[in-house]
Amino acid sequence: MSSFGGRDIRRLILVPALLTLAVTLLRLVGELSGWSSRFFSTEAGGGGAIVGIAWLPPIFGIYFGLRLRKAGFEPTSAGRIALFALLGFLTMFALVAVVSAAGVPHPFNFILLALGGALGLVVAMRGWPVLGRTLALYGFAARLPVVVIMFFAIMGRWGTHYDAPPPDFPEGTGPLAEFVLTGLLPQFTVWIAYTVVTGALFAALALKVAARRRTPSSVDD
């Protein structure tokens, strides 16, 4: 079997990345235009708005998993994928719990949370490395436009969720530091880890269902 290199992964994620970019731009236009908050919330963190890219990793996780299997990259087991995805999530959650319980001061709390995201990402990718690399690269492609938008939104105070700091964010923090702590660090660590974890879990589920459908019936005709 030939290796699945960077060029192959880039080709696989191209359409999903473009679709994700379209959703990101639609979200930005909706917020700037004051459209329904149910679909385009300007609250910090996105407010669970219906239009957003956080809903896409499960969908594309299924897509990537099935496409990779079709290309001949059979995982050891769906259970292994799910296990490492859950371990990656627990790694992130554990560090969040420690940071919260210890009352780690600003800005070290943001740095530690980013470290937790990076560690969780590494763990989650081990379940099925080729899927992990695909989801991680897709996550980077999805989050890079968000980082760019957040930079300009924070510098210009656009009044969107992209420049809305967390409720407990210290007042008086400069815009550049705010961008690094609330934009650059989490987008390229926590949110990519989220993409890999959720994408892998749904890929594992889809692969399990597909494997059952391929299993021949043990009942004789």
Residue (of 189, 122, 135) closest to 13 by Cα position: 135
pLDDT at 181: 95
pLDDT of 215 = 60
Distance CA 60, CA 136 (A): 12
Q: Are 78 and 211 in contact (CB under 8 A)?
A: yes
The residue type found at 151 is F
pLDDT in the model for residue 1: 42
Residue holding tokens 């989490």? Answer: 186
**How many Cβ atoms from other residues are within 10 Å of residue 178's Cβ?**
18
| Reported pTM | 0.91
The answer for residues whose C-beta is within 8 angstroms of residue 212's C-beta and 6 or more apart is none
Instruction: Please count the other Cβ atoms lying within 10 Å of the Cβ belonging to residue 211.
Output: 14
Q: State residue 151's pLDDT score.
A: 98
Per-residue pLDDT at 219: 42
**What are the residue ranges spanned by the domains of the chain?**
6-213
d(CA 29, CA 43): 15
- For the chain, 221 residues long, give each residue's pLDDT as a single digit of tens: 456 667 788 899 999 999 999 999 999 999 999 999 999 999 998 888 999 999 999 999 999 999 999 888 888 899 999 999 999 999 999 988 988 888 888 888 899 999 999 999 999 999 999 999 999 999 999 999 999 999 999 999 999 999 999 888 888 889 999 999 999 999 999 999 999 999 999 999 999 998 887 665 444 43
CA distance 73 to 47: 38
**Nearest Cα residue to 53 out of 31, 22, 32:** 22
